[in-house]
Structure 1
Amino acid sequence: MSTVGAVDLGNLALSRKEDFQAFVDAPRRTRPEQLNHSQLNALDESARSAYDLARRQWHANLGPICTPQLSSLHEDLWDIVDSNKQDGDKAKGAVAVDAFPGLGKTTAVLAFAREFHRREIAEHGAFTERGHERWPVCRVGLTGNTGMKDLNRAMLEFFGHPGRHTSTAAQLGLQALDCMLLCEVRLLILDDLHFLKWRKTSGIEVSNHLKWIANEFPVTLLKVGVGLADKGLFSEGERGGDTALAQTGRRTTRLDMPPFNVDTEQGRRHWRQLLLALEQRIVLAGSYPSMIADDLSDYLFARSTGHIGSLMTLINRGCERAQRTGAECLTRELLDHVRNDEAAEHARTELEYALQAGKTTSRPRRKRTVR
């Protein structure tokens, strides 16, 4: 098995167990030393190159940040997963994390999976009583062409099973069941579930297959996707959805991750707490207290529209530009030249106008007089 030290964490495929293990066992990143302008300029070429590389890697991996949304999702997941102790003759409840893109769904789910995996290994050991490797978590990514056979093969791909290339769909399913049982998998994550065309034959086929997995596999199914409710994942037959999907809705608990909003004082406080957490993590020679949380609060909310994924992208790219150009500080003028994702750029104009006109604000009441 690969060791963490020998693995490039930027070159992992979490759909394979060795890479997932490297992700789980990776130590907490060490924050680069905070240097001022004089110290930065005193570095020789080699030291400066190494320092800048360390900062690029650090800024690209600032999360996950323990936001209220992430904390709430994790509390619900612990409730559901830890209560799924039913005997083998009973199906376990499933979970669907259904939210818009850019809200940190996958990041939050993987953070939970890492903690769950670590806990299970700490409590039960790295090997089962039969001497097999214990894999508390299996993570599978779906594609738009995923059918029943593809799903079974993807589960076997995680374990590196030799029969994944030659077996029939039914054989693959039974081999996947054997792997889950022997390795005592307890959490099966299906990411990008929205890629399936639920109203098409393959989607209904996979939906029925997921019910078989829920009935036969001693796992909690954790499905992650965008617009799963709109695609009919939870539809009941009497409400116009396909009757083949009705049981899925009854057995699945839907969780979401809402964006940040500044319509309430609590929402504004949560936004400020996020910015303060980011401010403490940024490593730029010209950083200063309130650089983000006060001076850029409204601007960053407009540029990200409250989506943490868009915010993290903007901050990461902004830090890279500030580092590369020698500005070593985040300002509105610098960030104006940094491109963000298309959805955030498209939605920013109206919100930016409202913030600039004073019709709304991202700043908590007690901080509005501070600039």
Structure 2
Amino acid sequence: MSTPPWSGATSFLPGPPLDRTRYASWQRWRTTRDSFVAAPVMSAAEYARLSPRQRRIYNLHRLATHSSLPVQATPMSEDVAWLVRTRIEDGAFSHKAGTRTGVMVNGGGAQGKTETVCEAVAAFEDEWLELHQQINPDAMPGTRDLHAPVAYVRCPVKATPISTCQRILDFYGEDYKGMRLEDLVRTVNAVIIDHATKALVIDDITRLKLHREADQDVLDLIREMMSMPVTLILVGVGIPTSGLLRDGRRDPVTKQWVFPPVRDRGRSPNARAATQHERRFELIDLDPFRYDTPEQIAAWTAHLRGLEGCLRLLNDTDGMVTAGDMPEYLFRRTNGVVGLLEKLIQTGCRHAIETKEEQLTIDLLQRCTLSPTDLPDLDAESGEQPSIPEVPVPKKKRQGRNSVFDDAGPAAGIAGGA
């Protein structure tokens, strides 16, 4: 008997929790984001030769693999990543002292905005650190300031300008006890310069509610940050209608957001402040997949094929989620939202392993449900949780009518006796 191609190692166990909103954890994520080793592909015969303990560990490794599916690029995410990298590089390599053009990434919940942006800025940081040999080129003589080319923060739920500034300072580990808003903004400016930060990502930016009277200085806060030597990347749900920009419409031809001219009404400065944001930020949408044209269907199927290669089930996975009615079924279950697709595939694989079916089928996925609890880090009040489609009711096949007792009528009798 040949030796099983797997030793039962537990290297897949996760390390300490990662919090990308802290410098040390961000660096650990950035440097290890591609280091996870998926469970090896194994046949049913090879699996049967494992000891009971090895089977249990292999099953856990498979669960870890399905819970850590790699972030796949989509045609939509590639456009976002290109724009983010372009704007950051334009600002970082510019020798001018002017305001950097920022990016606003808009889209629905669970559509991969955060992972797309984080991957883009992490790739920039990898290259930037290599160019400068990991050393802060702007460090003051005699000091060893933290070198943080990228800072990533998330707005807290029911955020305010003060709490947003505090989150930024938390990333660097700065003390802000007792500071007023003016002091906080000034300190944020100082740490960005001291630590040579070239890109500042503020996620969940639409948690800042402009309808609250106490938060009307949000636009002033963002305008102040735009004057800092850093490229701002703002990520949120429903940005065009959040108040960060005036209400706009999306041009169906160019796919760009179009904003009406400012009407000089009232004495509020917010309208003109919003106009400044429109000129200094480029707004881009990260849309879900569509399933209307042959090209859109092909793109969806290609995405499923990428996921298919990551599945670790004992039956042959070739065509498991790309053949037959499966692509259309998966689209109806998820509306083309990649986050929901990932959760559905993850749940389905767990059921397939536990029931020993070892394959994904429509019948098995019909028993898998998705709920808002599957997306605990998305705030429902801020519109971050996507609409989850109901499990489709399978079509019933029409059964032929039993005609054994039908009366054929006298004509049939006459014809039979002829």
Fold similarity call, TM over 0.5: yes
Give aligned-pair identity as a percent: 22
2:231 to 205, 211, 220: 220
- The one-letter code matched in structure 1 to 2:135 is F
1:72 and 2:79 aligned: yes
Q: CA deviation at 1:205?
A: 1.3
The whole-number CA distance in structure 2 between the counterparts of 1:88 and 1:214 is 14
Aligned partners of 1:335, 1:344: CA distance in 2, in Å? Answer: 18
Do the aligned residues in 1 keep the contact of 2:136 with 2:147 (CA within 8 Å)? yes
Pair 1:239–1:98, CA change in 2 (3 A) = farther
Q: Which residue of 2 aligns with 1:142?
A: 155
Greater share of helix? 1
Question: In structure 2, which of residues 156, 173, 177 is the aligned counterpart of residue 160 of structure 1?
Answer: 173
Alpha-carbon offset, residue 86 of structure 1: 4.3
Question: For the residues of structure 2 that align with 1:16 and 1:83, how far apart are their CA atoms?
Answer: 26
TM-score normalised per structure 1: 0.86
Q: Which amino acid is the alignment partner of residue 234 of structure 2?
A: K
Shift of residue 8, structure 1, vs aligned partner = 4.3
The secondary structure found in structure 1 opposite 2:241 is: coil
Q: Secondary structure at the match of 2:104?
A: strand
Amino acid at match of 1:220: T
User: Which one of the candidate residues 254, 275, 282 is aligned to 2:304?
Assistant: 275
The alpha-carbon deviation at position 175 of structure 1 amounts to 2.1
In 1, Cα distance between the equivalents of 2:274 and 2:280?
Answer: 10
**Post-superposition offset of 1:124:** 1.3
- Once the two structures are superposed, what CA deviation does each residue of 1:287-321 show, in whole Å capped at 9, x if it has no partner? 33111111311111111111111111100111111
The aligned amino acid for 1:51 is: Y
Which of 200, 213, 230 pairs up with 1:188? Answer: 200
Do the aligned partners of 2:369 and 2:391 also contact (CA within 8 Å) in 1?
Answer: no
Q: Are 1:15 and 2:21 an aligned pair?
A: yes
1:172-215 deviation per Cα after TM superposition (whole angstroms, max 9, x unaligned): 22222221111100110000011111233344312211111111
Runs (5+) with no aligned partner, structure 2: 1-10, 247-260, 373-385, 398-418
Q: CA deviation at 1:237?
A: 4.0
For residues 187-206 of structure 1, what are the structure 2 equivalents within 5 Å? Answer: 187-206=199-218
Bigger Rg, structure 1 or 2: 2
Q: Which one is further off, 33-42 or 198-207?
A: 198-207
Q: Deviations over 1:113-158 (max 9, x none)?
A: 2211211111113221423231111011102332222122111100
Contact 2:343/2:370 (CA < 8 Å) preserved in 1?
Answer: yes
Q: 1:170 & 1:239 partners in 2: Cα distance? A: 29
- Quickly say closer, same or farther: Cα 1:86–1:202, change in 2 above 3 A: farther
Match 1:312 to one of 327, 335, 342: 342
The alignment status of 1:133 with 2:146, answered yes or no, reads: yes
Q: Which moved more, 1:274-283 or 1:138-147?
A: 138-147
Cα drift, residue 166 of structure 1 = 3.2
- Per the alignment, residue 43 of structure 1 pairs with 50
Question: Contact 1:261 / 1:306 at 8 angstroms: preserved in 2?
Answer: yes
What TM-score, normalized to structure 2? 0.77
CA distance in 2, matches of 1:284, 1:113: 34
Kindly report the root-mean-square deviation, in angstroms, between the aligned alpha carbons of the 2 structures: 2.4
Distance 1:9 1:245, change over 3 A: farther
- Comparing 113-122 with 144-153, which one deviates more in the overlay? 144-153
Aligned-partner residue type, residue 22 of structure 1: R
Aligned residues of 1:15 and 1:140 also touching (Cα < 8 A): yes
Match of 1:293 in 2: 322
Question: What SS does the corresponding residue of 1:164 show, helix, strand or coil?
Answer: coil
Alignment partner of 1:346 is 2:370: no
Whole-Å separation in 2 of the counterparts to 1:336 and 1:141: 35
Which range moved further: 218-227 or 141-150? 141-150
Aligned partner of 1:364 in structure 2 is: none
| 1:245 maps onto 2:274 in alignment | yes
Query: What amino acid maps onto 1:238 in structure 2?
Result: R
Q: 1:206 to 1:8 in 2, by over 3 A?
A: farther
CA contact (8 A) 1:148 1:202 kept: no
Instruction: Note closer, same or farther for the CA distance 1:70–1:176 as it changes in structure 2 (3 Å cut).
Output: same
Aligned letter for 2:279? R
The worse-fitting range, judged by mean Cα deviation, of 267-276 and 57-66 is 57-66
Counterpart among 354, 362, 381 of residue 332 in structure 1:
362
